[in-house]
Amino acid sequence: MHSIATPEGTILQSRGNDPSAPPGQPASPPGTLDSPHLLLLGRHDIHDRLRPIGRTVPLRPEAARLVGENLTAADPDHPWTGMRFASAWGSRDALDVTLVRPELVAEISVDTAVDHGGVYRHPVRFKRLRLDLAARDVPQFGAEPDTAAG
């Protein structure tokens, strides 16, 4: 496991059919802008495109509150507008998302399994917000050979 910093791209919201919920158990409650359930993470590439790189496991309540206090809803021209994000690896079910401005930097813990596009295969663990960094401080997608998408 290692940690990297990555700008956050969107808040993911459960649709109520959370594939990780045990059979017969209610799914996780959906997230909101003030209290996100999951985060979809991205990094800017060398052409300044925001590239999806992974998603987090469900956030702990205190982390969701802290992240939510710092999120700003996205403008209509967000680069991921209209994109579909699978609810699980290989799933056809799509997540409902609320796009946010990709301004924050998160420190995450990840394993090294990445797909051919540089996306983490397994959900990542959110460690903390890096309010001391701006998205432009994060190395660009594809710029570092030892990190996902890098």
Q: What is the pTM of this model?
A: 0.72
Q: How confident is the model at residue 128 (pLDDT cuts 50, 70, 90)?
A: very high
| CA proximity to 97, closest of 8, 7, 11, 5 | 11
* Residue 43 pLDDT grade (very low, low, confident, very high; cuts 50, 70, 90): confident
Question: Dihedral, CA atoms, 22, 9, 4, 144, nearest 10 degrees?
Answer: 120
Predicted confidence (pLDDT) at residue 145 exceeds the cutoff of 50: yes
Residue 64 pLDDT exceeds 60: yes
pLDDT at 126 (0 to 100): 92
